[in-house]
Amino acid sequence: MIRNLRPRRKRDSTIALINVVFLMLIFFLITGTIAPPLDPDLQLVDTSELDGSEPPDALVLHKNGLLSFRGQPMTPEAYMTGRDPAPVRIVPDREAPGHRLIEVTGTLRRLGATSVFVVTEKALE
């Protein structure tokens, strides 16, 4: 008696992988909705009408790389002359060269600034 053996069919392992990915998708969809939404009565502050002027005690780095303080041209050395070691704020123009900002920041630190804060605009989108 000769047995007619059929070749064994291999199981497709991609089904298990698809199931795992699907379960992960469901898990992340559910956990993403757990965070409570903002209070519907909350009204965010509208800053679109504010004057975009720099803080009065900050250095301004213009797009041409020059510094000013309270509207007057300034160098880091002149700014730090006679000042106690304290944090310094600098407001760079959006188009100011990055290497100039790093150069000014390093100079201010060498001249005694305990830290240098770069003041930027934060937008809620």
Nearest to 93 by CA among 72, 64, 70, 117: 64
Residue 124 has what pLDDT? 43
The token duo for 34 is 């757990």
Q: Which tens digit of pLDDT belongs to each residue from 15-66?
A: 888 999 999 999 988 877 766 666 666 666 565 665 555 566 788 888 898 8
